[in-house]
């Protein structure tokens, strides 16, 4: 999972897959793979964050799913 912030407009987006992130920020998936170990990195006008913990609530209203990425 990746969180992206546009530096000039401060617009943010979240992507689950490398393919869609690469299309959005216009870079290769290999570039994303090489930067996965970093907490954050910059590409053009974007700052990409690699969250280590993702907390998602289920759609049924049950328990929270706590995922360590």
Whether 20 and 14 have beta carbons less than 8 Å apart is answered as no
What's the pLDDT at 67?
A: 56
Share of the chain above pLDDT 70, in %: 81
Instruction: Name residues whose C-beta falls within 8 Å of residue 29's C-beta, 6 or more positions apart in sequence.
Output: 18, 19, 22
What's the pLDDT at 63?
A: 59
Mean pLDDT of all residues belonging to the chain: 87
What's the pLDDT at 5?
A: 97
pLDDT tens-digit series, residues 11-41: 999 999 999 999 999 999 999 999 999 999 9
Q: Where are the domains of the chain?
A: 2-68
């Amino acid at each position: 999972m990746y969180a992206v912030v546009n530096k000039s407009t401060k617009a943010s987006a979240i992507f689950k897959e490398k393919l869609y992130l690469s299309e959005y920020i216009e870079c290769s998936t290999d570039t994303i793979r090489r930067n996965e170990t970093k907490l954050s990195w910059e590409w053009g006008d974007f700052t990409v964050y690699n969250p280590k913990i993702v907390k998602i609530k289920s759609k049924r209203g049950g328990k929270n799913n706590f995922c360590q990425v």
